Amino acid sequence: MRKAYSRLAFGLTLELIDVRVTAFDLFSDLLGCLLVMWGAYRLGLERRVFMLAWAAAAVLLLPAFAELAGHRVTIPLLGGGGLAQARRRNRHPARRRIGPDEERNL
């Protein structure tokens, strides 16, 4: 049981530390996800709540694989990206300034 907690803590530490040399990540998020999954699986055999941690780490494997392929994937935790920002920008279209190119088209 102690090893499972150690794997879980070390995996979370690898997830949080993001040390890059040029474009190469020294501490891979993939390794961190796998360690979290391994520790959470062992702990999930005794307590079912750790299976939720296992499932969350499994979801985070997809961006980790994409990052190994060279793609940068971000998941906003508080919903601050994507559609929420687009809706805020377009909330008041009448307040939008008209540029010199658009004046000619009126």
pTM to 2 decimals? 0.63
What is the mean pLDDT for each group of 10 consecutive residues in the chain (106 residues)?
A: 90 83 76 91 89 90 82 68 53 58 57
Model pLDDT, residue 94: 54
* pLDDT for residue 37: 92
At 63 the pLDDT is: 83
* Residues 30 and 61 sit within 8 Å (Cβ to Cβ): yes
Under 8 Å between Cβ of 25 and 67: yes
Distance between terminal CA atoms of the chain? 71
Q: Which tokens in the block code for residue 79?
A: 């919903």
Taking alpha carbons only, the member of 47, 53, 49, 46 closest to residue 7 is 53
**99 burial level (CB within 10 Å; 0-12, 13-18, 19+):** exposed
**Domain residues of the chain, as ranges?**
2-75
Q: Given this model, what pLDDT does residue 46 score?
A: 87
